[in-house]
Amino acid sequence: MVGVKLFGLSPSPFSQRVIWALKTKVAVNFVLITKPMMSFFTYVGEQQEKAINDNLQTLRIIEEHGLGEQKFLSGDRIGLVDIALGWIIHTLAAMEEIVGVKFVQADTFPLLHAWMKNFREIPVIKDNLPSHDQILDYFKGRREMFVKSPHACHHHH
């Protein structure tokens, strides 16, 4: 089968790195790719909007290229790549609540939503993840610090 490449629709270098991290299934690569997902939390204004759009693009790539029919990114059993993404997605929920944005929902990213549910149901994960309230308390203070920082990017009207 010959692939057709349409002008203007080629994946960005960032998209290519995410796809590469998914294909190689190397946890360190995955952490490096997904760490920028937290930036929407540290920014305000236009930079935050860009970071939110970048997150949606990253999640779309993970949804389309990472999971497929598999229960986990590593296949039928949890692997290091799942753990690398799992802690990010777990903390992301508290950050989303504080900022007022929601990324991973059943209707927008059904495979990732199911993956997160499967991930959280594994006993060793369930028993060791900090509670949502603990994460929320921690990140509320962090968000106030970021927003009050003189280095925060504020959008002026």
Render pLDDT for 89-119 as a digit per residue (tens, 0 to 9).
888 888 889 999 888 888 989 998 899 899 8
Structural domains of the chain, ranges and CATH numbers in brackets: 13-148 (1.20.1050.10)
Where is average pLDDT lowest: 20-29, 80-89, 101-110, 118-127?
20-29
Render pLDDT for 129-150 as a digit per residue (tens, 0 to 9).
888 898 899 888 888 888 887 6
Where is average pLDDT lowest: 74-83, 86-95, 143-152?
143-152
pTM confidence score = 0.69
Distance CA 86, CA 148 (A): 29
* Cβ atoms of 22 and 62 closer than 8 Å: yes
* Cβ atoms of 73 and 79 closer than 8 Å: yes
Between CA 55 and CA 104, with CA 135 as vertex, the angle to 5 degrees is: 30
The answer on pLDDT for 55 being more than 50 is yes
